[in-house]
Amino acid sequence: MFLALRELRFARARFGLMGGVIALIAVLMVLLSGLSSGLVNDGVSGLKSMPATAIAFNEGTKTDNAFSRSVVDPSEAEAWSTQPGVEEITLMGSTIVNGTTENGTQVDLSLFGIDPDSFLAPAVGEGRDVQAPHEMVVSATAEEEGIELGSVITLDRLDMELTVVGFTEGQATFGHVDMAYLPLGTWQYIASGQSQPGAPSEADLAAVDFDTASAVAIKAADGADLDFAAGDTAAGTVTSTLEESFDASPGYTAETMTLEMIQIFLYAICALVVGAFFTVWTIQRKHELAVLRAVGASTGYLLRDGIFQAVVILALSTAVGVAAGLGMGAWLSGSAMPFALEAGPISTATAVTILMGVLGAAIAIVRISRVDPLAALGGQR
């Protein structure tokens, strides 16, 4: 690769300009990856942390925002509990509400009604588990909104009072709203429309004849494959894997598809930019390449030489861009923007950026195989 290295040193300005463009593309890729991960976490981190295998909604429920549209009852949960491979099932309810703390701070909460003794009970990082109808465990990110242990939140229009007794170990959000885990009976008390002002008691819950929920959470036994079709037929539901149920979060599909489309265009731009540069560079080197061909250099040698140049530029420039992007991302992570630096998405974006750049360069460098030594040398006389 003697020639490739000499040209990199000789044409530092041109290669530096090209590298700068690639570095900027890499910065954008890191920022988009961080923004995409941040939006996903802000939209469905609560669902991601659930140890459920699948979520069953009422049959006929539209997939978008299904958690707020679906209505299931204990009979559907019972039908699912008899299916082969099912270890545990539990009903859960979902509602987004507005509330106010004692000091007048307005908060939004995504209430998730669960059985506190079921597998859906969240891991508590601070405080304790729910033990009474008026208690709830909220997302750790709710502390940034001014919510503290012992805070009493009064729900708008209902005047029901709920007390925060714990915070989850990490972020738990749904639809970009902090989640609050409370007993399923309390959620049903709210959803029934029969709730009364003040803190709910066991007697209040027992007086309400309301047993429906939003969905059935299903946990499969270790190594078991659930037959969703058979279960849906028996229960009259439509079932999604836990990851597929993310689409039921408000705005999740639109947000992720938009960012994915932007990333795809950036990959294409990277390939086109690198390809255009090496096309021009190959044309400018036509005489030198002809000389090398005339003295016996093989086409394969020249192709490898050109690809090596592209790989060096792409690797170094992308590394610089990723480092700059990580620095900017670390700063953005502490802002109000939903941004999260995760190794997996960033590594994938980096690899695809380099791959697309090499592909664009390879297509351009193929021109070397069509260089005619005699014609090229004769053209310089």
- Cβ count near 296 (within 10 Å): 7
> How far is Cα 30 from Cα 349, in angstroms, rounded to an integer?
7
Q: Residue 119 has what DSSP assignment?
A: T
Q: What's the confidence (pLDDT) of residue 1?
A: 57
Check the CA dihedral 260-45-50-113 and report its sign.
negative
What does the block give as tokens for 141?
A: 């990110």
Q: What's the confidence (pLDDT) of residue 39?
A: 84
Task: Give pLDDT tens digits for 224-250.
Answer: 899 999 999 999 999 999 998 988 887
Check the CA dihedral 72-77-79-85 and report its sign.
positive
pTM of the predicted structure, to 2 decimals: 0.80
What does the block give as tokens for 28?
A: 């954008």
Q: What's the confidence (pLDDT) of residue 3?
A: 59
Q: Which helix (H) or strand (E) holds 23?
A: helix 12-48
In the three-class reduction of DSSP (H, G, I as helix; E, B as strand; rest coil), residue 294 is classed as helix
- H helices of 176-251, in order, are 184-191, 202-206, 228-235
What does the block give as tokens for 147?
A: 């919510």
Q: What's the confidence (pLDDT) of residue 381?
A: 47
- Whole-angstrom CA distances from 146 to 41, 101, 127, 164, 342 are 21, 9, 16, 12, 27
Q: What's the confidence (pLDDT) of residue 369?
A: 65
Per-residue pLDDT of the chain (381 residues; tens, 9 = 90+): 555 566 666 767 777 888 888 899 889 888 888 888 888 888 889 999 999 999 999 998 887 788 888 999 999 999 999 999 999 999 999 999 999 998 888 999 999 999 999 999 999 999 999 999 999 999 999 988 889 999 999 999 899 999 999 999 989 999 889 999 999 999 999 999 889 999 999 999 999 889 999 999 999 999 889 999 999 999 999 999 999 898 888 778 888 888 888 888 888 888 888 888 878 777 777 777 777 777 777 777 777 877 888 888 889 999 999 999 888 888 877 666 777 888 888 898 889 888 888 888 888 777 766 666 665 556 554
User: What distance lies between CA 281 and its chain's CA centroid?
Assistant: 39
Contact 22, 274 (CB under 8 A): yes
